[in-house]
């Protein structure tokens, strides 16, 4: 054979081998990455070739699938009462992906979860019908919160303290996920993502803000657990007015005539005495306050319910003046409504904090359970006696103090108001908070936290009792009578 031809033949053979190796590599090594690539059109075509499974609230689907007109994507996601349940469902978009429960359970909902396949499906590669996600959300509680929040910018969370079930998760302003579920909804997407009110942000668990005086419950729990004070009725060492250590800054109380000097924890919570809890935080030191806050969920990076919540923060590295401010929920302390509902839930449940969750089970298309979710575990964050003392003091807040708008006939209600400064030198409208628990005559319990970021109320009318407590009342009442 001619030497040149032989060399050319060997080179051609090497090229063929290289192509075979590359094809094999792509088929067996890169196939999953290519299949999962967000730019792979075939993935979207397959995902929306059939109706998706549903997200269930109160026994009924709040999602659906509609046949599209034209195009290569046969179905698109639809939502019932979309704005009401958007903080729970998230969205599933043919273009922009999926979030919240839609994103976490995407494989289950579109039928690609291996648990949905029978042996024959596995052999043939047939796609199974999508499964369903059954939530813990109570529609009556959800609707009560959404209606009560109205046109405010804010959020609310309702928990069952004993089980950790999330009964309601509301965020306003909201949006209808149906508006962005199709392949031609780019204008609606731009409108929603550029809206300065940020309707697509789930404020209930993704918007940590200063919790103000609601954080005084955490400081009180730390003081009682530490033994700094023996009970909620022991007098504290709390000068009034109180000057923050190392500064000339005098910390005053909203109600100048309130009996806050050396007040008990009960009285301090009733009148929301800043001097009591700022001094208490300084006396404890930031490490002891942090230890209690972290038991309750602060500084946790991975709080999944199963959607991941933003971290609520109790800061470190503070001086004594900053520690004092942290004791009244200011300085760099931040919390989500979910986090503050956990604080009330732990107190209501005798000091045991049950991990919150909003999915009870997942099923196949025929309703057979694939996986059932329990309470996710619990941990003791304070003794039963400390919890009982705080429950009693919170009842005083509602019955005789700043939380009167949360009273419910025929139920035992405890709560704590909060008004957190906003902006440099409190130049912007403050945030209004309320965290609470209620117990019915039948022993049923609920814990609720509400945060109002902004409303149409005049600045001097912004308060936890005026704005947030009525919303908590509506949700608690719905939970107790559901």
Q: Would you list the domain boundaries of the chain?
A: 206-359+375-480
The total of other beta-carbon atoms located within 10 Å of residue 16's CB is 10
Query: How far apart (Å, rounded) are the C-alpha atoms in residues 88 and 61?
Result: 13
- Which residues make beta-bridge pairs with 57? 60
How confident is the model over 176-210, as pLDDT tens digits?
Answer: 999 999 988 899 999 999 999 999 999 999 999 99
**CB pairs under 8 A, 24+ apart, for 11-19?**
none
Please, are residues 286 and 298 in contact by the beta-carbon 8 Å criterion? no
Cα dihedral 39/40/44/49 (nearest 10):
160
Please, are residues 438 and 332 in contact by the beta-carbon 8 Å criterion? no
Q: List the chain pLDDT tens, one digit each, 482 residues.
A: 577 777 777 777 777 777 777 767 666 665 555 455 555 566 667 777 789 999 999 999 999 999 988 777 778 999 999 999 999 999 999 999 999 999 999 999 999 998 988 766 655 566 789 999 999 999 999 999 999 999 999 999 999 999 999 999 999 999 999 999 998 889 999 999 999 999 999 999 999 999 999 999 999 999 999 999 999 999 999 999 999 999 999 999 989 999 999 999 999 999 999 999 999 999 999 999 999 999 999 999 999 999 999 999 999 999 999 999 999 999 999 999 999 999 999 999 999 999 999 999 999 999 999 999 876 789 999 999 999 999 999 999 999 999 999 999 999 999 999 998 766 656 577 899 999 999 999 999 999 999 999 876 665 667 899 999 999 999 999 999 97
Name the packing angle between helices 337-348 and 216-226 (round to 10°). Answer: 40
How confident is the model over 355-383, as pLDDT tens digits?
Answer: 999 999 999 999 999 999 876 789 999 99
Query: How far apart (Å, rounded) are the C-alpha atoms in residues 52 and 370?
Result: 17
Query: How far apart (Å, rounded) are the C-alpha atoms in residues 339 and 336?
Result: 5
What 3 state SS string does 347-386 have?
HHCCCEEECCECEEEEECCCCCEEEECCCCCEEECCCHHH
Superfamily of domain 206-359+375-480: DD-peptidase/beta-lactamase superfamily (3.40.710.10)
- For the chain, how many residues are written? 482
Any residues with CB less than 8 A from the CB of 298 and at least 6 apart, and which? Answer: 218, 290, 312, 313, 314, 335, 339
In sequence order, which ranges of 254-336 are alpha helices (DSSP H)?
265-271, 274-284, 286-295, 320-326
Q: What is the pTM of this model?
A: 0.90
Q: Check if 213 is active-site.
A: yes
Burial label for 257, CB within 10 Å (0-12, 13-18, 19+), is exposed
Both structure tokens of 448: 């609720």
Which residue among the candidates 213, 312, 341, 463 is catalytic per the annotation? Answer: 213
Query: How far apart (Å, rounded) are the C-alpha atoms in residues 87 and 204?
Result: 8
């Amino acid at each position: 054979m001619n030497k040149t031809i032989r060399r050319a033949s060997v080179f051609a053979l090497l090229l063929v081998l290289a192509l075979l190796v590359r094809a094999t590599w792509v088929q067996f090594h890169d196939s999953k990455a290519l299949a999962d690539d967000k730019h792979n059109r075939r993935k979207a075509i397959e995902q929306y070739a059939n109706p998706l499974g549903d997200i269930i609230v109160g026994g009924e689907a709040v999602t659906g699938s509609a046949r599209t007109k034209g195009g290569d994507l046969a179905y698109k996601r639809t939502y019932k009462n979309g704005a009401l349940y958007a903080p729970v469902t998230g969205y599933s978009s043919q273009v922009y992906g999926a979030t919240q429960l839609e994103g976490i359970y995407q494989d289950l909902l579109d039928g690609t979860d291996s648990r949905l396949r029978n042996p024959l499906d596995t052999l043939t590669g047939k796609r199974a019908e999508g499964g369903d996600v059954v939530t813990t959300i109570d529609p009556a509680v959800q609707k009560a919160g959404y209606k009560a929040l109205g046109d405010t910018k804010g959020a609310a969370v309702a928990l069952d303290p004993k089980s950790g079930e999330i009964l309601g998760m509301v965020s306003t302003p909201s949006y209808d996920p149906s508006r962005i579920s199709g392949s031609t909804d780019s204008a609606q997407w731009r409108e929603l993502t550029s809206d300065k009110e940020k309707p697509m942000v789930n404020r209930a668990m993704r918007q940590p803000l200063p919790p103000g005086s609601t954080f005084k419950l955490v400081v009180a729990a730390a003081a009682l657990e530490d033994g700094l004070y023996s009970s909620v009725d022991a007098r504290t060492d709390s000068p009034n007015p109180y000057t923050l250590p190392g500064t000339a800054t005098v910390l005053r109380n909203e109600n100048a005539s309130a009996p806050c000097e050396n007040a008990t924890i009960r009285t301090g919570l009733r009148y929301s005495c800043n001097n009591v809890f700022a001094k208490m935080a300084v006396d404890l030191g930031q490490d002891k306050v942090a230890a209690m806050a972290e038991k309750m969920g602060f500084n946790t990076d991975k709080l999944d319910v199963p959607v991941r919540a933003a971290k609520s923060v109790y800061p470190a590295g503070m001086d004594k003046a900053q520690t004092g401010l942290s004791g009244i929920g200011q300085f760099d302390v931040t919390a989500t409504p979910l986090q503050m509902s956990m604080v009330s839930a732990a107190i209501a449940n005798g000091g045991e904090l049950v991990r919150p969750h909003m999915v009870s089970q997942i099923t196949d298309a025929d309703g057979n359970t694939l996986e059932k979710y329990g309470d996710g575990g619990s941990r003791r964050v304070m003794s039963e006696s400390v919890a009982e003392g705080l429950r009693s003091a919170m009842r005083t807040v509602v019955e005789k103090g700043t939380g009167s708008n949360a009273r419910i006939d025929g139920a035992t209600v405890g709560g704590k108001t909060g008004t957190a400064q906003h902006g440099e030198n409190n130049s912007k409208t403050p945030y209004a908070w309320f965290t609470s628990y209620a117990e019915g005559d039948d022993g049923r319990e609920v814990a609720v936290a509400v945060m109002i970021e902004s409303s149409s109320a005049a600045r001097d009318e912004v308060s936890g009792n005026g704005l947030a407590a009525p919303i908590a009342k509506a949700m608690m009442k719905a939970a107790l009578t559901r």
